[in-house]
């Protein structure tokens, strides 16, 4: 992954973007579901049963997508916190080495 540069602010922004996209997708998915549900009365017999099963699968898939995007945003935020902690530890180690006044090479 040479050439990848990031910082905590970028990671937080990326997590926020994933959350925004998730919200937009869920709004679109819910709107489509509402339009499809409005046609439920048009279906009869086995077609109605097939339609009902399709809507259940659609709902399950949209919940899995929402969960995956939520988990992605959470992991990005957690990684940002870990990155920040590692950066702080590195800076403290560098300052401690410089404060010792000794460079035993």
How would residue 93 be classed by pLDDT, with cut points 50, 70 and 90?
confident
How would residue 101 be classed by pLDDT, with cut points 50, 70 and 90?
low
Which residue is listed with tokens 């990848």? 4
Question: Distance (Å, rounded) from C-alpha 73 to C-alpha 80?
Answer: 11
Measuring CA to CA, how many Å separate 11 from each of 3, 19, 22, 44, 95? 16, 12, 17, 50, 26
How would residue 22 be classed by pLDDT, with cut points 50, 70 and 90?
very high
What percentage of the chain exceeds 90 in pLDDT?
55
Q: Is residue 18's pLDDT more than 90? A: yes
**Token pair for residue 10?**
């970028």
Q: Is residue 21's pLDDT more than 90? A: yes
């Amino acid at each position: 992954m040479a050439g990848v540069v990031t910082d905590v602010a970028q990671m937080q922004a990326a997590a926020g973007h994933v959350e925004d996209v998730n919200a937009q997708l869920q709004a679109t998915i819910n709107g489509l579901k509402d339009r499809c549900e409005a046609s439920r009365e048009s279906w009869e017999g086995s077609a109605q049963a097939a339609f009902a099963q399709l809507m259940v699968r659609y709902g399950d898939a949209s919940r899995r997508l929402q969960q995956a995007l939520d988990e992605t945003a959470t992991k990005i935020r957690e990684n940002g916190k870990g990155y920040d902690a590692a950066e702080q530890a590195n800076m403290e180690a560098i300052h401690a080495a410089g404060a010792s006044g000794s460079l035993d090479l």
